[in-house]
Amino acid sequence: MSVLISKEKKVKNKEFHPNILCFCCNWCSYAGADLAGVSRFQYPSTIRIVRVMCSGRVDPSFILEAFKDGIDGVIVTGCHIGDCHYLKGNEFARDRFERFQKTLKLFNLDKRFRLEWVSASEGKRFAEIITEFTNQIKELGPLRLI
């Protein structure tokens, strides 16, 4: 897995347009993204959404796969704790990614990954999170693997 170690190389290139993979759960955050659309909340065109039924479906291997391919950042979004359509899927996601974050830290990738809760009414929040995460990835610069 040594190939996954990211070299911290700050690119002061304003033109850098990161590629970010975003997982959304069908019931809350995907609906939140829809509401951002309906409400015309603008955010950077950096994310590509993959819809899953539940944040509990997102396998940490997907995140590794993405980084391996050179995707600059990954964000997993789900229902707020307590709101899960499947009762506890988001709690499992939380527990897994808390552990996974430590693994990512070893590869210096932890800042390129994030887990967030977005409800179906939080269109604005969705847009804000994406804007903010995009800025964070821009700060980090393009993913370079050694």
Smallest gap from Cβ 40 to other proteins, in A, equals 6
As a dihedral over the C-alpha atoms of residue 18, residue 110, residue 58, residue 35, rounded to 10 degrees, the angle is -50
Q: Residue 76's closest CA among 23, 138, 121, 6?
A: 23
The CA distance from 136 to 145, in Å, is: 18
Binding site for other proteins (CB under 8 A): 19, 21, 26-28, 30-31, 33-43, 45, 48-54, 56-62, 65-66, 69-71, 82-83, 85-89, 92, 96, 119-125, 127
Q: Where are the alpha helices (DSSP H) in the chain?
A: 29-38, 60-69, 89-106, 123-140
Smallest gap from Cβ 41 to other proteins, in A, equals 7
Smallest gap from Cβ 112 to other proteins, in A, equals 14
Q: Residue 116's closest CA among 105, 106, 102, 128?
A: 128
Smallest gap from Cβ 109 to other proteins, in A, equals 15
The CA distance from 89 to 93, in Å, is: 6
